[in-house]
Copies of this chain bind each other. A is one copy, B any other.
Amino acid sequence: MFAADSRLTLQIQQAAFDPGATLNAFQAAHPGVGAVVSFTGIVRDEGATLTALEIEHYAAMTGPAISAIAEQAIGRWQLAGALVIHRYGRLLPGETIMMVATAAKHRAGAFASADFLMDYLKSRAPFWKKAFSAGGSEWVSAKAEDEAALHRWSDLP
């Protein structure tokens, strides 16, 4: 929807989606590649304490921010295709929050680019999670390790 580059599929939505159907459609849309990597992020129940997760986002910025990150990945690893689906709103434990997929000639590029996309989405896409439990609610705080993970990508080719 925000994607100028035809290699990028980007969906930001409240509705649930089917990861398997998405993977098959993505693979079919990029014939000729040898490797497809997918990541799906799922709401954990945190030992049955979490009752729901509420995801807020900055709608005007989300699309452009994710597009910019994905364009970087597509260029750097010469991807045939990249896909990002990210949900917002209220989600229950076990629900799929988001999905990333990459299609490349070889496995190294497919793995590295999906890993890169996740690291950047985690700390640079404007989403915020609030965790609800029986005891109340709490904004999920960013982890120092997530910020640190970004440095992995600065000195590689």
Contacts and interface: CB of A to CB of B under 8 A. Distances in A.
Contacts of A88: none
A35 B34 CA distance: 23
Interface residues of A, number: 35
A107 B27 CA distance: 22
Chain A binding surface, main DSSP class: mixed
Contacts of A43: 34
Interface of A: 18-24, 27, 31-45, 94, 96, 105, 107-108, 110-111, 114-115, 118, 122, 149
Contact of A23 (B23, B35, B42, B108): B23
B32 A40 contact: no
Given A36-B39, A110-B39, A20 B24 contact: yes
B40 A36 contact: yes
